[in-house]
Amino acid sequence: MQGCDKKAGTAPESMDYCNPEHFMGRLSTGIRINVPAIGPHLSRRATTLPLELLPWNNQLTGNTNMNIRKSIPFIPATLLCSALLFCGPAAAASIAAPVSGMPAINTSTPLYIVNVQKGVTPAQIKMGIQSGAEAENMNLVGSLDVQQGLKARGIKNSQPYVIYEVCNLVLGAKILKTTPEFGAFAPCKIVMYEQGGQLKLMTYLPTYALRYFPKNAESAKVANELDRQIITVMKQAAAGGL
């Protein structure tokens, strides 16, 4: 086996659990497994499994590659990967929204979704976004009405879906100065759509987008303020501009 010590009963300190060639393990203390990064917020780490937890009970003899007394029977990589769920992403966590009266932020997803109040119409939502953005020193720089666009092409669609693009140029420029890659997520968006008869508003939080880039204190501070402004606009729009 490539990378294994030729002395009897020894093996490398670690192995990649998704590489079947490296399923032969340490005999004394357990198997050290390198777990690949999962998502932008998890780093590569290693975990040691004691032998008692591993499903082996057979003896190998006549192994020409390694003279060892015990080994793990061949397990497809997909099964072993599935068995190691404890190495997966951490449980979802919530933090308070920066705007009172708004739902908590689920930190495991970039999306922030709120329900529109009963009786509020799409037209009122549009007015709420316009007035709310202006109050937060933001500009409504564009919109895309998917339903109307499909209608113009002769395609029937009864589901309202409008993408509003909002921007605070001053704050945005501060992030772009230190993190120019953030431009791939600009301008910020507030999406109005209907699901199960309920109108909803959805956005992609700037603070989550920054997870994909090197940490920068100034960018993080600005992104937090953008989160607050966008959620404030969403609160006003969900109430019909009131």
Angle between helices 169-178 and 217-238 (to 10 degrees): 150
Q: Are residues 102 and 209 in the same domain?
A: yes
pLDDT at 67: 42
* Tens-digit pLDDT profile for residues 26-74: 434 444 444 454 454 444 454 444 544 444 444 444 444 444 344 444 4
Q: How far apart are CA 155 and CA 150, in angstroms?
A: 5
Q: Is residue 98 part of a domain?
A: yes
Using DSSP bridges, classify how beta strands 161-167 and 188-195 pair: parallel, antiparallel or unpaired: antiparallel
Q: Are residues 62 and 158 in the same domain?
A: no
Q: Are residues 19 and 121 in the same domain?
A: no
Q: Are residues 111 and 217 in the same domain?
A: yes
Taking CA atoms, 54 is separated from 44, 49, 76, in Å, by 22, 7, 14
Kindly report the CATH number assigned to the domain that includes residue 118. Answer: 3.30.310.70
User: Which long-range contacts does 221-224 make (Cβ < 8 Å, 24+ apart)?
Assistant: 222/171, 222/174, 222/175, 223/175, 224/98
Q: Is residue 131 part of a domain?
A: yes
Q: Are residues 75 and 160 in the same domain?
A: no
pLDDT at 240: 92
Residue-wise over 118-128: b if at least 16 C-beta within 10 A, else e?
eebebebbbeb
pLDDT at 241: 82
For 101: left if phi > 0, alpha if psi spans -120 to 50, otherwise beta; the answer is: left
Q: Give the rounded distance of the alpha carbon of 204 from its chain centre.
A: 11
Q: How far apart are CA 22 and CA 15, in angstroms?
A: 6
pLDDT at 86: 45
Q: How far apart are CA 24 and CA 15, in angstroms?
A: 9
User: Where in the sequence is the domain holding 57, given as residue range(s)?
Assistant: 15-87
Q: Is residue 78 part of a domain?
A: yes
Q: Are residues 149 and 200 in the same domain?
A: yes
pLDDT at 158: 87
Q: Is residue 6 part of a domain?
A: no
Q: Are residues 71 and 115 in the same domain?
A: no
Q: Are residues 54 and 159 in the same domain?
A: no
Domain end, chosen from 87, 114, 129, is at 87
Q: Is residue 9 part of a domain?
A: no
pLDDT at 75: 45
Q: How many domains does the chain have?
A: 2
Q: Is residue 148 part of a domain?
A: yes
Low-confidence ranges of the chain (pLDDT < 50): 1-35, 37-38, 40-44, 46-49, 51-89
- Among candidate residues 130, 125, 149, the one with its CA nearest the CA of residue 141: 130
